[in-house]
Amino acid sequence: MGERAAGRRVAIVGAGISGIAQAHVFRKNGFDVAVFEKSPEVGGVWALAYPDVRLQNQDFQYHLSDVPWPFAADDHPTGEQIRRYWSGAAAALGIDVRLGHEVVAAARREGGGWAVTARHDGATATHECDYLVVAVGQYADGKRRPAFEGEGDFRGEVGTERDVRSLESFRGARVVVVGFGKSALDMATLAAGRGAAVHHVFRTPRWTLPRHILGVHSSWFLFNRFGSVMMTSWAHPTAAERFVHRRLRPAVGAFWGALGDLIRWQTRRAARGAGPEGAARIEALLPPHGLLRDLRSAAALTPDDYLAHVAAGRIEPRCAGLAGFDADGVRLTDGTRLACDRVVLSLGSESPRFPFLPAADRALLEAEPDGPQLYRHLIHPRIAGVGFAGFNHGFLHVPAAEVGAQWLCCLLRGELTLPSPEAMERSIDRVRAWKREHIAFEPSRSCAINTRYQQYLDILLQDLGVSPYRKLPNPIAEVFGRYGSADYAGVVDEVRRGGSRLRAVLPLDT
């Protein structure tokens, strides 16, 4: 723990991954922290996960930077392993996590700070704090669940993936899975080994990333600095990177085009030996658009057995929308009718909502269909006294949460000089416009950094006066080594060694 930050009581709403990471960093900076979590356990979305879910990241990318996994987890940890790690880390660190406490209101106090009202065991109590951090996440609530014509006539079961509490519910069933994100791919794969028939219905095929490309784990393409420097972004933190994307744009396009061609070729290879029918099923999964537009928060690793199930006909892909239901099945927009017993709607999440905040703040945050766009993905220039955690979600999420927390700590101590509110709003608008032009829609598009995690982290670290090059003095490791959580373990101490000097944020959008 660092020196106590006098008079700085912080309330964090949400004990998911971002909330715990923020609490850990705030406490190391000397703040008094209480975390309010409405569910009975730590973990956020992982506490709601369906059976056999696995992390898309590898274990070395998904832990607190200075708290390694205390047990041997799988390369891609299971949901149970993730819950065990994060609940154990919160307990071992002594973080004040108040489970079963649902924050129902947060009101500003005269003279500053917040009165946070939480419901627990049927009673409400108010807790005072100086600063509020909203860590309710993008995915824990509000699964997209539209109503469809004729649904009331359907004699089978309809729900989202969160309604799947046992995989045995697929046993012998005729299953229709709707959607093309991670959850939909998982549901179709898990049902294929159990169901009598499985149809995977989607309006548009999306790019998915194979776990291995030519036998090399895909993280070697996306989690080293060479791969991340080639990533198009709303901001590039160095002159060299800006030169690459402005002057060598054809080379950047060729890099991603070649990677896309490689993934297409490898995907088609899954149909070997499956005949023309199997090849046609695999072909239906290939998107007509380029790879970069789908490198968003909803981008998914291809489940290990998914393509094999499709090639063999155990999963039947259907490129169409869901038009409605009848008593015995579903109707698709292409006129097809599918008889089924169970329909899983894996259509993603709704845009984040903030029901406990004042109405004026909610209006600023909930106005856009693709979620709230924040300055630095951390603060809103018109909402005083509030930071946001987890709205910088990306492929290296835990370091983003921790470095974002350190940025907020420096801001609270008066060590960061920000642009004017109007300038921050212009920055927000530029980032939002870039995302809308270059990234396919999702309800969390604005509040995510996805594959632009390296540019984001580099800019925040430079704001803090800390080197973004975490693997130096080894230049080979810096360029070609995979980045993980432990690379950011020293950030708090490095900021502390820099003293309480005033730092001006970089004139870059992020």
Together in a domain, 164 and 84: no
Task: Compute the distance between CA of residue 24 and CA of residue 14 in angstroms, rounded to an integer.
Answer: 13
**Averaged pLDDT for residues 367-388:** 96
Together in a domain, 161 and 123: no
Together in a domain, 306 and 381: no
Give pLDDT tens digits for 97-110.
Answer: 999 999 999 999 99
Owning domain of residue 436: 9-141+350-504
Centre a 10 Å sphere on the Cβ of residue 295 and count the other Cβ atoms it contains.
22
Radius of gyration for the alpha carbons in the chain, expressed in angstroms and rounded: 23
| Residue 2 included in any domain | no
Domain limit, last residue, from 322, 345, 368: 345
| Residue that is written with structure tokens 């991670």 in the block | 182
Give pLDDT tens digits for 214-241.
Answer: 999 999 988 899 989 999 999 999 999 9
- Both tokens of 509, joined, read 């959008």
| Residue 3 included in any domain | no
Together in a domain, 332 and 362: no
Domain limit, last residue, from 287, 322, 345: 345
Task: Compute the distance between CA of residue 467 and CA of residue 473 in angstroms, rounded to an integer.
Answer: 12
Q: pTM for the full model?
A: 0.94
CATH of residue 431's domain is 3.50.50.60
| Residue 450 included in any domain | yes
Give pLDDT tens digits for 419-430.
Answer: 999 999 999 999
Give pLDDT tens digits for 458-481.
Answer: 999 999 999 999 999 999 999 999
Give pLDDT tens digits for 14-34.
Answer: 999 999 999 999 999 999 999
DSSP state of 156: S
Task: Compute the distance between CA of residue 405 and CA of residue 463 in angstroms, rounded to an integer.
Answer: 13
For residue 265, what are the β-bridge partners?
Answer: none
Give pLDDT tens digits for 156-213.
Answer: 999 999 999 999 999 999 999 999 999 999 999 999 989 999 999 999 999 999 999 9
Together in a domain, 336 and 360: no
Q: Structural domain tally of the chain?
A: 2
**Are residues 60 and 35 in contact, defined by beta-carbon separation less than 8 angstroms?**
no
Q: How confident is the model at residue 5 (pLDDT cuts 50, 70, 90)?
A: low
**Are residues 389 and 12 in contact, defined by beta-carbon separation less than 8 angstroms?**
yes
| Residue 509 included in any domain | no
